[in-house]
Structure 1
Amino acid sequence: MSNRVGIDAGGSLIKIAYEEDGRFHYRKHTIAEMDGTLNWLKTVFPNEMISLTGGRAGIIKTRFFPEAEIVDEFSAACDGANYLMMQEGLSNAENSLLINIGTGTSWFKMNGESYSRVLGSGIGGGTFMGMGKLLADSSDFATLVGLAATGDKGNLDLLVKDIYHPEEPPIPGDLTASNFAKTEEINSSSTADQMASILNMIAETITLLTLQTATLHNTKKVIFIGSTLTGNKPLRNSLEFYCQMSGLDSYFLQNGEFSGSIGALLK
């Protein structure tokens, strides 16, 4: 069988899945590295089948791979996620939600090989990076995640326990009553606290939208993929916590950030 290559070119990253001797391999680069990355790919795989997906697929086809096939990005993400689910022994036979947290976030209803996009939000990794540039003057994802991991959202967010103190609150006290509501502490707060609050707000928003969508589509099984989760333990931990509290069964696919490029490859 000929080797195959799938490229998912989104708003921030180029993700590549390629088959070599029957095994899948993965690479990830920033959009700023596009020219060098794709010229390398043309050199290493000069005669392979190339499939493209994502918002920049048309540009890449025109400039680098005129013979390539363009695959719808939503189909590619779901097909790739289905493949990874099978690899991990996770059943796709019942209704589930697939949540793809990239630059923004998309929700898909899935049942076997059938799927449809049911919701989208501008809250996602792009939000985290943009606020990181504003608050921490950094565009490095790992640096911003590290700050969020060491910060304390309670120094900025008004928590339920803050309102009820000294009484015992009727719901868990560490839940957020209002994001960034401790206005008197904002100027004296640390950058780490600010990034922790931003990340928590993203996690809460995604979980709330997930819960509402899961209820609407009669499922409790939710599967997370997307590049924003890679190396982002604070976000994953928050999503797991909020999903568990909401009665949702959450799963995080290994190599889930490459679902789109895998789906393109499989086409």
Structure 2
Amino acid sequence: MNENTIGIDAGGSLIKIAFEEKSRIHFKKYSIEDLESAFNWLKMFAASKRIVLTGGKAGSIKADFFQEAEIVNEFKAACEGAMYLMEQEKISLQEKVLLVNIGTGTSWFVMEGSHYERVLGSGIGGGTFMGLGTLLGDSRDFSELVELASIGTRGKVDLLVKDIYHPEEPPIPGDLTASNFAKASKSKESSAADQVAAVINMISETITLLSVQAATLHSTKKVIYIGSTLSGNKVLQSYLEKYAKMSGLESVFLQNGEYSGALGAKRI
């Protein structure tokens, strides 16, 4: 990579930066609400460097902070960055894979060799988790909501297959969801943690179902996951891995996958 280029992925809630120093890639992440700290550091570090921006806030950041910066398409940046990370993790780029980028919403790409194509998008993603988590968990902190989900019992909120078939043995795994949040209309015994656990499960089920359809349509069984919503979110990762395995898919979570957009911007 070019050491004189800094990639910045400016999304709806986070600013992610990829830069190189002494031939090593480094990453920084800031809340969109902490722009002043991010760019005070960046202006000192990047006084003579090329800035490449991507993401939904790229235009406003260029206008307000880096008028000479270049802007690249966020889908292109995410795929280019993911390919770099796949190379670092010795994942073959010649095998057709489904790339799933879980950010504020979620995008699906089919990748094979140097070719990639966006094939699907959904409004279900990290924004959904934060929005419903704030309403149900009474917190706007991502880490706090993930912690809540980790201790919650979604079966107190979701109607499960085993609930419908009880006391008989169900024909499919009993802990699968028959209806998301269906118990909430009949019982008030669930806690905020149970409700947030149900939210994160609903997101993972939806993403998996769409991934299965896209993977089937494009004849692949391998799913590569990236995106900031997965960062520090073992609950979501475990659900995605579980449902992918049940659906016959192989799932891979790229290390530093949340920085794919920033890396791609730096790489282009």
Which range, TM-score by smaller chain?
over 0.9
Letter in 1 for 2:212: L
Secondary structure of the residue that 2:182 maps to in structure 1? coil
Partners in 1 of 2:58 and 2:133 — Cα distance? Answer: 27
Conserved? CA contact 2:3–2:23, under 8 Å = no
- Correspondence for 1:239: 240
| Cα displacement string for residues 177-222 of structure 1 (whole angstroms, at most 9, x for unaligned residues) | 0001113554331000000000000000000000001001111111
- Correspondence for 2:95: 94
Conserved? CA contact 1:76–1:262, under 8 Å = yes
Conserved? CA contact 2:3–2:19, under 8 Å = no
Partners in 1 of 2:67 and 2:253 — Cα distance? Answer: 35
Does structure 1 residue 52 correspond to structure 2 residue 57?
no
Q: RMSD between aligned alpha carbons?
A: 1.0
- Correspondence for 2:9: 8
Letter in 1 for 2:84: Y
Q: How does 1:12-23 map to 2 (within 5 A)?
A: 12-23=13-24
Conserved? CA contact 1:17–1:24, under 8 Å = yes
- Correspondence for 1:224: 225
Structure 2: stretches of 5+ with no match in the other structure: none
Secondary structure of the residue that 1:93 maps to in structure 2? coil
- Correspondence for 1:176: 177
Letter in 2 for 1:134: L
Conserved? CA contact 2:10–2:16, under 8 Å = yes
| Cα displacement string for residues 41-93 of structure 1 (whole angstroms, at most 9, x for unaligned residues) | 01122111111000111111111111111111000000000000000001110
Secondary structure of the residue that 1:15 maps to in structure 2? strand
Letter in 2 for 1:210: S
Q: Quick one: percent identity of the two aligned structures?
A: 64
Conserved? CA contact 2:222–2:251, under 8 Å = yes
Conserved? CA contact 2:54–2:71, under 8 Å = yes
Secondary structure of the residue that 2:173 maps to in structure 1? coil
Conserved? CA contact 1:3–1:21, under 8 Å = no
Partners in 1 of 2:187 and 2:124 — Cα distance? Answer: 22
Partners in 1 of 2:196 and 2:43 — Cα distance? Answer: 39
Partners in 1 of 2:43 and 2:184 — Cα distance? Answer: 53
How many residue pairs match? The answer is 267
- Correspondence for 1:134: 135
Secondary structure of the residue that 1:169 maps to in structure 2? coil
- Correspondence for 2:37: 36
Conserved? CA contact 1:3–1:20, under 8 Å = no
Does structure 1 residue 200 correspond to structure 2 residue 201?
yes
Structure 1: stretches of 5+ with no match in the other structure: none
Letter in 2 for 1:208: L
Partners in 1 of 2:112 and 2:36 — Cα distance? Answer: 38
Q: CA deviation at 1:4?
A: 2.0
Scaled by the length of structure 2, the TM-score of the pair is: 0.98
Deviates more, 1:104-113 or 1:180-189: 180-189
Partners in 2 of 1:222 and 1:228 — Cα distance? Answer: 16
Letter in 1 for 2:15: I
Q: CA deviation at 1:39?
A: 2.2
Letter in 1 for 2:266: L
Secondary structure of the residue that 2:66 maps to in structure 1? coil
Conserved? CA contact 2:52–2:69, under 8 Å = yes
Letter in 2 for 1:153: R
